[in-house]
A and B are shown apart, each in its own frame.
Chain A
């Protein structure tokens, strides 16, 4: 390599790094702000056979629609074995004669969403809340009653990436 070539290459790379220092940057300050690309619920329309685009996070169970048919349990059987049918005698819904509802173990769930695709009665959804961390491993297990409560979204403002031709990427609230 010639000396002139060496110096030119060095100058170009150092200049590129220096220019980058002054570019506008997009840093998501995570607990204070959140960057969720999709804030919708993942839902499946069994009549059309197509799902509605959304973030695949924690489940939401509509107990007034669940018939206890166990199709979500069968779908999960060989994937993660995370869903278990739990009897909930105090929940008296006419359509669910055996009173069994799915409970999800988030220590096992892989968030593939095929349980939602299996539900023919619009009872199971996936919500954009994916912050499931507990101090105790047993707390990762969510009973049907816990799943039927809509999750409280993180109050932190949602950040979306926006691009500017000159300034590069920056966040937009």
Chain B
């Protein structure tokens, strides 16, 4: 301990060092270097095997995306906004693009083909995120098979998305006015074949994660969130739907031609890790159906309204929200007529799911911490922004 921190106990980082553990208890720092905690720390107070207190200590990967938005112009913001959420780069950039289009008064002018391509890419990203979810959930339970399957099957989706966008993870594909490129030759064929293949893989995942008695023991009854608690804590995405709340921005406030497609919102009543995993399963099935419908509705036509020169938003404000893979993502942009926004407020579903972390972990076992933590769909990088 240096002399500086000794004289100023307030300067000690985090809550961990400040308070001694109560008599007979042990304080355990779960993270930030733990491969499972993912750039965050949970300070656990344990009594034997029971977690008595869990304080999430976040902010390790804060990079100031909102402040950076204020001195970059509307196009230059695209690459850095989508970097925090690498598994859901389309879902993260989608509401930003919609908000910028509202500032430019061109929401109606975006071509139909571009809107369907956006839907396809957003759903591909949702599936990419969900297969990653299955993989990590499996490895947190101690099963190695799901992570190899999840990562492998996720790569086929990445291949499809990359053939159109030209990058594997951070696509930078949506721009104000449409999408950057038209789909390459043979894209639809590749897309539908991949969808058929993934549909044939779903029973295997079901056998491994739902019917497998060992997975069921580890998931059932872990991290229970009641319906009333889920609403009170303001959760979002599959975590909220796993507690029985039927809420989805794609249905509640349809954007970008989602109202022309037919799909269901899967919900589960139990509210435990198993229910949240099953919601992810059902969402993959729904996404496959949405992608197929959207691919059927693609008609030849322009994919972009070309914007010449620097984009300047009108003086005013715009708000847009979409359903990302991990919950509702929303952007609130204030413009003062300059080439860069005056203020950008980013709200991701991840940061809202963090609210459930403490109530979920308290009272559980230490071995259940990784499973409960991951099943909440909390991604520290997107949450810290």
Q: Mark B177-205, 1 if CB is under 8 A from A, else 0.
A: 00011111000000001101100100110
Known interface pairs A20-B204, A50-B182, A53-B182; A37-B159 also in contact (CB < 8 Å): yes
Which of B24-32, B41-49, B206-214, B246-254 faces chain A?
B206-214
Which residues of B sit under 8 angstroms from A112, Cβ to Cβ? 78-79, 170, 172
Which residues of B sit under 8 angstroms from A117, Cβ to Cβ? 180
| Bound form: Cα–Cα A15–B211 in Å | 12
| A161 with B304: CB separation less than 8 A | no
| B79 with A53: CB separation less than 8 A | no
User: CB < 8 Å: which of B80, B165, B306 contacts A79?
Assistant: B80
| A16 with B181: CB separation less than 8 A | no
| A163 with B193: CB separation less than 8 A | yes
| Bound form: Cα–Cα A52–B164 in Å | 10
| Bound form: Cα–Cα A40–B304 in Å | 20
| A75 with B200: CB separation less than 8 A | no
Interface residues on A, range: 35 or more
The chain A residue sitting closest to B195, CB to CB, is A163
User: CB < 8 Å: which of A50, A75, A79, A169 contacts B304?
Assistant: A50
B75 on the interface (CB 8 Å rule)? yes
| A79 with B72: CB separation less than 8 A | yes
| B181 with A51: CB separation less than 8 A | yes
The chain A residue sitting closest to B149, CB to CB, is A20
The chain B residue sitting closest to A162, CB to CB, is B193
B216 on the interface (CB 8 Å rule)? yes
Tell me what chain B mostly uses at the interface: helix, strand, loop, or mixed.
helix
Tell me what chain A mostly uses at the interface: helix, strand, loop, or mixed.
mixed
| A161 with B182: CB separation less than 8 A | no
| A35 with B204: CB separation less than 8 A | no
Q: Mark A1-20, 1 if CB is under 8 A from B, else 0.
A: 10001101110110111001
A113 on the interface (CB 8 Å rule)? yes
The residues in A between 55 and 88 inclusive whose CB is less than 8 angstroms from any CB of B are 55-56, 75, 77-80
| B306 with A48: CB separation less than 8 A | yes
B166 on the interface (CB 8 Å rule)? yes
B156 on the interface (CB 8 Å rule)? yes
A49 on the interface (CB 8 Å rule)? yes
A121 on the interface (CB 8 Å rule)? no
Known interface pairs A17-B208, A48-B306; A113-B172 also in contact (CB < 8 Å): yes
Which residues of A sit under 8 angstroms from B162, Cβ to Cβ? 37-38, 55
Known interface pairs A9-B212, A13-B211, A20-B204; A110-B79 also in contact (CB < 8 Å): yes
B60 on the interface (CB 8 Å rule)? no
Which residues of A sit under 8 angstroms from B193, Cβ to Cβ? 163
The chain A residue sitting closest to B168, CB to CB, is A37
Write 9 A-B pairs (CB below 8 A) sorted by A numbering: A1-B217, A17-B145, A42-B181, A48-B306, A53-B184, A55-B166, A111-B167, A126-B166, A168-B200
User: Which residues of A pack against B, CB within 8 Å?
Assistant: 1, 5-6, 8-10, 12-13, 15-17, 20, 35, 37-38, 40, 42, 48-56, 75, 77-80, 110-114, 117, 126, 161, 163, 165, 168-169
